[in-house]
Chains A and B, each alone.
Chain A
């Protein structure tokens, strides 16, 4: 069987290029870039789905798309943005940054890391292949039974959904094990847990949430898939099944999932704000403990998504109070971020603008969330556009703003080039304006009676004006992303000569060249404080010299491998055999490929 990550092959001082080197890469930095590029493309796809939705909703009684197409669009928009957008964009940062910020050469299991990426890519492709069959998932991203049972969803749409999400779950779980072990075990000598960068802490908590919540949705999806494939009645009322079981299982996963979506962004913002305020993160310990508290209590609030289901007053009251309690540590974080900037010397670089934008928008999303923590009020708000407004403020105004800020911040480290600051500011302002114009009116629409997930609305409802404003806003948002892509393209053409530390960073990734060499650090750093690099600069009299590229002789890095991809194909084929019914030959082929991949991986001379 294979031994640990650091193996017996000399490092290459010139990195391999070409398609094959990317297919067989086990380098966390390359895997991070793969995640980022793939996720960004899926994000654009999800964005196009949103634009079509907005165009359909710009007119009452519009027939731009058919009702079924609309239902596929909103289902895929949600599923794509959550599982193929925000989560893998966060994974890009986990991959690229965690080993660097910990002072390690790679993650604990480099091939498992590559496996996670390939499974993600294949799962995302599989779920989108459904469009070609005209059978994209159409039961909502939450897939409530019993609408999603075979009787009421006879096509393959829901099969693509259950299978696709299970495949993506495998990717997330494998990555979560990897990053959990990496964070616990591969910290640089001397780096205690309470000295890790805040991004690593938030990511660490995220991995724990993934490990504990994904199995729950796996069970839900498996039970639904079994109902649809073999005729059991887990969610079929005529056989004694109870659709509410689906909701409990789904939301037991679903609520921790929203923290999975936002915690990495909390971490990103906690990195950017101190650097551009020129002072350390305010209240490090409070930030760690509030993050832990949010994650823990986050497992106890799931039924606040179910206030309209008639659980009874005691359940309603319990979940309402638990939800309000979670607002407290969230508030603590917001105040600590403001405290970080307070008394600082704020530089309004693009990355900082996005971090500030995150803060401003997340505050609003958090406040609307508290408004529906109360069941009597929520019974008017739930399933309306008021909720759509809330979660877009926290997921777009929150997560997407933070992830975008992270892109501007870490772009030089990843690619050796700086993104253009002026274009960045245009991007930011367009996004700010477009975002608020799209999503703020939804608060008003929701309170005034517009339900969610409706493919059209009547003239009589008077929803038209606000919907048109929102559609205009979404077009401005689209333009903002075009500006971003232009920025990437324009700056790509210049040579990669960015300095190691363009921002006066506090953490270890800024102590090595941009982009880093394959082995990351010539010598693994010794750490004894938080903000390790700021400490090193202080000890050296204010700055450290620009790090030079070295030969890396004597440093052992893991060999590239083809088998993670093979194993990923095996997983995809095995589970893919459940689409449209259980096809035994497909399962067998998939298992054979998987076993071949796993055994080759286990026994290859790494």
Chain B
């Protein structure tokens, strides 16, 4: 007396399941996901990944055995015509003991490496590490390098092959800083520093985003992690420590850039955005913003078009962000874009 739709569904269910599984498997390959945690590229991430694979392995074994037992029971003990009344067993103490001890044993196999890894990853690196202070803001990330006298925002530049030690805090609400490719995550709290460290094994420009709900624009509080060879990193740091170029005194400078520089002062941008390599203000530091790969807290590629779009109306892309819509005219925007682009 089974309903026709029910029967049709049950008939197609295996095929549909297979199709869904195929799609899922296709979507499974971690390499298509730039923010994946499954391709660890630093020591910390590898330790975390090892524990993940250990637990995944055991979970798979248990899954196959237990779901298998369930499916077997459903098949073997389904009611068939003429079947005898089942034995009214109430329990079995031996079984209870066995199926308490075996899971405990499996969990011990997970617990021991877990505790070992917890303590290993809690040990702060020594003085050879590069120190970076990470500061969360609603809705962007600030990075300071106390050893180098650098303040920047949006992109965490690190040398590969060298331990980087992150000391992290926030100036407003809780955020969480995550390096899925290199390390786990840590929440950031006001008036406190949390610590994370890693040694990147590869170079590249990787995306990441804030991972603790922090208000209206939590979804667009992203950043980039840019790992580069140590020589390249040193060159970047040295270059960064140059003061901002003053185009007003430069007769060879593009007039649009000069106009942009003047507007940067006149329109009040300087009130929030510093162009000095070591000076933080309430907005992201824009020193050398022209050469960053992304803007708007890692959410827009740093093209002239995007930069213009952002400056024209930040609220349109990121409603609620603290940067107001200044009501700039098109030519003013172009000038500012040119100026910022020249700041490399």
Chain A positions near chain B (C-beta within 8 angstroms): 66-68, 70-71, 139-140, 144, 146-147, 152, 237, 242-244, 277-280, 282-286, 308-310, 312-313, 316-317, 320-321, 324-325, 327-328, 331-332, 334-336, 338-339, 341-348, 356, 359-360, 363-364, 367-368, 370-371, 373-384, 421-423, 425-426, 429-430, 433, 437, 440-441, 444, 447-458, 460-463, 465-466, 469
Contact = CB atoms under 8 A, between A and B. Distances in A.
B187 A310 contact: yes
B20 interface: yes
Interface stretch (B6-14, B150-158, B260-268, B274-282): B6-14
B67 A277 contact: no
Contacts of B62: 367
Contacts of A286: 91, 96
A277 B88 CA distance: 10
B202 interface: no
Nearest to B102: A331
B165 to A, nearest CB: 14
14 contacts: A152-B215, A243-B190, A279-B86, A282-B92, A284-B90, A321-B111, A370-B110, A371-B55, A376-B118, A379-B183, A448-B35, A450-B35, A451-B178, A465-B23
Nearest to B26: A465
B215 A461 contact: no
Interface in B14-43: 16-17, 20, 23-24, 27-28, 30, 32-38
A448 B34 CA distance: 8
Contacts of B17: 433
| Residue among B1, B194, B218, B320 with max Cβ neighbours from chain A (10 Å) | B218
Closest 9 CB pairs of A and B: A449-B35, A379-B184, A422-B3, A448-B33, A454-B219, A237-B190, A310-B194, A313-B122, A283-B91
A449 B180 contact: yes
Given A66-B319, A147-B213, A376-B51, 6 more contacts: A316-B122, A327-B103, A422-B3, A437-B20, A448-B38, A462-B32
A328 B32 CA distance: 37
A273 to B, nearest CB: 11
Given A343-B87, A426-B9, A324 B211 contact: no
A429 B7 CA distance: 10
A328 B13 CA distance: 34
Contacts of B6: 422, 425-426, 429
B111 A363 contact: no
Contacts of A313: 118-119, 122
B115 interface: yes
B204 to A, nearest CB: 14
Interface stretch (B168-176, B229-237, B326-334, B335-343): B168-176
Interface in B50-104: 51-52, 55-56, 58-59, 62-63, 66-67, 69-70, 73-74, 77-79, 83, 85-92, 95-96, 99-100, 103-104
B313 interface: no
B117 interface: yes
Given A376-B118, A422-B2, A425-B3, A469 B91 contact: no
Contacts of B111: 320-321, 324
Contact of A382 (B45, B185, B207): B185
Contacts of A441: 24, 27
A451 B63 contact: no
B182 to A, nearest CB: 11
A147 B212 CA distance: 11
A462 B209 CA distance: 14
Contact of B63 (A312, A331, A367, A433): A367
Contacts of A244: 189
Which label, helix, strand, loop or mixed, suits the secondary structure of the A interface?
A: helix
Contacts, number: 304
B209 A447 contact: no
B121 interface: yes
A36 B190 CA distance: 44
Nearest to A320: B114
A323 to B, nearest CB: 10
Nearest to B55: A371
Contacts of B88: 279-280
A331 B101 CA distance: 11
Contacts of A463: 33
A346 B215 contact: no
B99 A456 contact: no
Contact of A376 (B67, B114, B190, B207): B114
A326 B331 CA distance: 65
B191 interface: yes
B210 interface: yes
B87 A317 contact: no
A162 to B, nearest CB: 17
Given A447-B38, A448-B36, A458 B91 contact: no
Contact of A370 (B55, B79, B122, B217): B55
B207 A460 contact: yes
Contacts of B187: 308-310
Contacts of A309: 186-187, 189, 194
Given A146-B173, A320-B111, A338-B69, A444 B34 contact: no
A269 to B, nearest CB: 13
B74 to A, nearest CB: 6
A360 B67 contact: yes
A337 to B, nearest CB: 9
A484 to B, nearest CB: 14
Nearest to B4: A422
B160 interface: no
Given A346-B77, A444-B28, A375 B33 contact: no
Contacts of B183: 379
Given A146-B174, A343-B77, A345-B86, A460 B34 contact: yes
A368 B114 contact: no
B133 interface: no
Given A313-B119, A342-B77, A332 B96 contact: yes
